[in-house]
Amino acid sequence: MVIFLLAPLPHVMSAIKYLESIRAAQKYAYPLVLWVQLAICAYPTLPKSVRDSLRQRLPVIFPPNRSSDIDANDEMSQDPVFYILEPVVPYFETIRSYLDRERVGIMIEILWSECATKEEKIQLILKSVG
Amino acid sequence: MESVNDLFQLFRDDDLLIPLSRLLGVQETEDETRVRLLEFVDILNDPVDPYKPTDDDLSAFPKYNGIYA
């Protein structure tokens, strides 16, 4: 299971800190696998036109020292993994490969507290990646 | 998706409640998982100490249009 957190970075970092605290306190919690950066924005509740636009425009990368951790040809772990992606270099195909393989079960839409409407959120996403 | 209940239902529909409960550090009961998921979403929507990232946490990340995207 992969969970994409779509939220501003400080919010995502807060969520990860929370999960890390659970992991530290309870040994049966899943390990958090990756530490990367920002949110990926292709998720099914967005209008298709927006998703298509994001797929064309969204530049993402895993930090260089982590990129070797991810290989689209590898069997994906069953553990939940949080990918937080840095919008610097195109790396979206790796994520697409997970999507295409139907490995991605859940996308969480987190409503951004800074934005009043979904349209505002979409515009903010597009601005962020544009 | 507008609520934790919707989110919870989505996990249930996809038969992912157990992975979710393990992710959130609970065993298998739905009530526990729902409560923990609510807490998780609350924190994600409104970062608070001790989970709120520090300036040091954020210093390595770029801003876009003046915000952390």
Contact between residue A91 and residue A34 where contact means Cβ atoms under 8 Å apart: no
Indicate the domain borders of chain A: 2-129
In the predicted model, what is the mean pLDDT of residues A17-46?
48
Give the confidence band of A116 by pLDDT, cuts at 50, 70, 90: very low
**Average pLDDT of the residues of chain B:** 72
pLDDT at B39 over 80: yes
Interface A–B counts its CB contacts (< 8 A) at 110
In the predicted model, what is the mean pLDDT of residues A71-91?
34
CA A39, CA B40: separation in Å to the nearest integer? Answer: 17
Q: Which residues of B touch A (CB under 8 A)?
A: 1-2, 7, 10-11, 14, 16, 19-20, 22-25, 27, 36, 39-41, 43-48, 50-53, 57-58, 61-62, 64-65, 67-69
Q: Decide which of A37 and B62 is more confident.
A: B62
Nearest CA in chain A to B67: A8
Count CA atoms closer than 13 A to A2's CA, side-chain side.
Answer: 21
Q: What letter does residue A5 receive in the DSSP assignment?
A: E
Q: Residue B27 class from Cβ within 10 Å (0-12 exposed, 13-18 middle, 19+ buried)?
A: exposed
Give the confidence band of B25 by pLDDT, cuts at 50, 70, 90: confident
Percent of chain A surpassing pLDDT 90: 0
Distance from the B45 Cα atom to the nearest Cα atom in chain A, whole angstroms: 6
Give the confidence band of A70 by pLDDT, cuts at 50, 70, 90: very low
Nearest CA in chain A to B54: A10
- Tokens encoding B38: 């609510």
Q: Which positions in chain B touch A120 (Cβ < 8 Å)?
A: none
B52 and A5 within 8 Å at the Cβ level: the answer is no
- The reported pLDDT for the residue numbered B32 is 84
pTM: predicted TM-score of the whole model, two decimal places: 0.51
State pLDDT tens for residues A36-58.
223 333 333 344 555 454 444 43
Give the residue among B31, B20, B36, B38 at the shortest CA–CA distance from A78: B20
- The reported pLDDT for the residue numbered A111 is 31
